[in-house]
Amino acid sequence: MKIVLLGPPGAGKGTQAKSICNRLSIPHISTGDIFRKHISENTSLGIEAKKSIDKGQLVSDELTIRIVLERLKNEDCKSGFLLDGFPRTVVQANALDSFLETEGQKLDTTLLIDVPKDFIIERMSGRRVCLTCGASYHIKFNPPIFEGKCDICGSDIIQRKDDEEKTVRERLDIYNQQTEPLIKYYRDKGILAVIDGTQAINDVFKNICKVLGRDN
Ligand code: AP5
Ligand code: MG
Ligand code: ZN
């Protein structure tokens, strides 16, 4: 299946992406994770992306589209993939559609994880992430088994620099202006499914599986 995950910062895209990709055996492509990996390795792409990310602003469409399309050309994406955090602008959505069209493919569904703004600041302030494998934790809602360590790969988990309240508010503004129009974009194409993201992590996952027809 070819899936796009849409939703505001802190909606739970990364959290759900891990479970969906395990269930469907498809690769998880998170632009945020790709950028953070480049930043931690100090590559030229990472240095460029960091300027925008630290301010809570979007990385340029040109750079983002280039890395995603390169990733989608990999053999492991031929039978399906899950995009988490891409597209985030109408320009990116158009670029994805054109790419898939030339490959004779199309998206199966867009899952919008819907969470009101009030939930988001609390989720972000308690979030801890693993830079090695991309797993997300929450000190209250989803703590790791061993404090400070990733359950999956054992690396240290850290607080993201862009999770301070001021930057989160900037990210929310940008989401409203640039990414929210994609809800209509995909609804008009008839491939939008809205998931209530305010429930517990497992319940959100059950609803997603129902929508995907994989709730067995
Ligand atoms: P990115 O990393 O994609 O950040 P984001 O979209 O702001 O989303 P988050 O990763 O913050 O949240 P999430 O929805 O994954 O939530 P999570 O599962 O972690 O992007 C970062 C930056 O990179 C952007 O600001 C931009 O600069 C740049 N960028 C990325 N893509 C780009 C693009 N396409 N174009 C241009 N620039 C781009 O959950 C959040 C917390 O809540 C966790 O602690 C989790 O444990 C907890 N939680 C999750 N679900 C629940 C639940 N149901 N109940 C209680 N707690 C929960
Ligand atoms: Mg994420
Ligand atoms: Zn890890």
Q: Is the CB of 8 under 6 A from ligand 1?
A: no
Active site residue 171: yes
Distance (Å, whole) CA 177 – CA 180: 6
Instruction: Give the SS3 label for residue 26.
Output: coil
Helices (H), the chain: 13-24, 31-40, 44-53, 61-72, 90-102, 117-125, 165-174, 181-188, 201-212
What pLDDT sits at residue 161?
87
Mean pLDDT by 10 residues, the chain (216 residues): 97 96 97 94 96 96 97 95 98 98 96 93 91 92 96 95 90 97 98 98 97 88
What pLDDT sits at residue 165?
87
What pLDDT sits at residue 206?
97
Q: Which residue has the tokens 């909606």?
A: 11
Provide the token pair at 168.
Answer: 């989160």
Query: Which candidate in 88, 117, 128, 149 is catalytic?
Result: 88
Residue 36 burial (10 A CB sphere; 0-12, 13-18, 19+): buried
Taken in order of first residue, the domains within the chain and their CATH numbers are 2-115+165-212 (3.40.50.300)
Distance (Å, whole) CA 54 – CA 56: 5
Q: Is the CB of 7 under 6 A from ligand 1?
A: yes
Q: Is the CB of 204 under 6 A from ligand 1?
A: yes
Distance (Å, whole) CA 143 – CA 71: 31
